[in-house]
Structures are given as structure tokens and as C-alpha cells.
Amino acid sequence: MSDIVIRPLEIRDAEQLLRLEMKNKNFFQRYTPLRTEMFYTLEGQRELVKEHVQQAKKGIGYYFGIFLVNDQLIGKISLAEIVRGDLQSCWLGYCLDQEQNGKGYMTEAVKFVVDFAFKELKLHRIEAGVMPHNKGSIRVLEKAGFHKEGLSKKNVRINGKWEDHQLLAILNPDD
């Protein structure tokens, strides 16, 4: 039996989302673009969840919470920028409470959303970009079946600096 529950994020999760973001602000900022002040408010988190729910209804993005069995939110994972037509692809994104790193939770969550993307959404390809020095995240993706495809130079601005990103992808084995 798994120690985590993965489910779509809902408005009722906004308070826990805010706690997760505030608790891990310095840790997350090392790997993600700068956030607005509104992001770090309860209203900001509620608005973000509302937007995520709308994206899921439109089939262009799916956002999940990673919870311990006691319903404590410890992370989130998403399939975003879904493109249909001849591409049938999306981008994977995730973050996990720093205290929960190294327990296998994110590897399990990545495998869960990959399965969802391929079996339920019938996507062909999932891509992810990771800063090359984030070895733990690269290891998570490789354990879940992703393969390195290349390096995107100065791809995303993190803390005001353009950072390289290792590109990884996984293909639907049924295609």
C-alpha cells in the first residue's frame, strides 16, 4: 500500500498549498521562476486552483496534489501546456516539500501522472526540463522512464538569471 494519495487539486486545498509554498519558499526559488507577491497569499492560491480546474475542464492542463495518507499536502505535480493534433504532448512539472525528499514519493507521483497521460489522455510524449545541477530531480525522472534528450541553453529565468535546462522525455510505449 502506498504512503501517498495523488488527486486533482481543489479549492479546499488552497490553505495547504499556501503553507507548502511558504514553508519551502527558499528551497523552491532555487529551481523555479520568481513568483508574484499575490502567489504567496491565500487568495492567490485560490485563484491559481480555479485556473487549474478550468484548464482541466478544457483538457489543456492537469494539476494534482501529493498528499500523505493523513491528507497533509506534501507536493504537487502537473501536466501542463498540453498540445493535441500532430504533437500529442505536454510538459511535466512538480515540487515536493524539502523534508519529504528522498522517500520515493515524487518518483511514485511521476509514474502516476505518466500512466494517466498515456492511458487516459492518450498523449504520445511528456517532456520535462531540469536544471543540470538538480541531480535528485533528474534521478526521479530517469527512475520513471524518462531519457535525456539534450541541453537547452539559458532556457528559463530563475532568480533573475537565465539557466540551462536538461531536457528529458518519455514516449508512450503503445504508440
Tell me which residue has cell 519558499: 25
Q: Calculate the CA dihedral of residues 120, 134, 107, 8 and round it to 10 degrees.
A: -50
Q: What is the pLDDT of residue 136?
A: 96
- Cell numbers for 149, please give them: 534528450
Q: What pLDDT was estimated at residue 2?
A: 80
Burial class (CB in 10 A: 0-12, 13-18, 19+), 105: buried
This prediction's pTM:
0.95
For residue 71, give the nearest of 21, 136, 144, 9 by alpha carbon. 9
Rounded mean pLDDT, 144-159: 96
pLDDT of 1 = 56
Q: What is the pLDDT of residues 23-41, one digit of tens each?
A: 999 999 999 998 999 999 9
Q: How far is CA 35 from CA 16, 25, 26, 47, 140, in A?
A: 17, 10, 12, 14, 25
The whole-chain average pLDDT of the chain stands at 97
Asked if 145 and 154 count as a contact pair (C-beta separation under 8 A), the reply is no
The structural domains of the chain, ordered by start, are 4-124 (3.40.630.30)
Span 132-136, mean pLDDT? 96
Q: What confidence score (pLDDT) does residue 89 get?
A: 98
- State the cell numbers at 36: 508574484
- Widest distance between CA atoms in the chain: 43
Q: Given pLDDT bands bounded at 50, 70 and 90, which one contains residue 159?
A: confident
pLDDT in tens, 48-90: 999 999 999 999 999 999 999 999 999 999 999 999 999 999 9
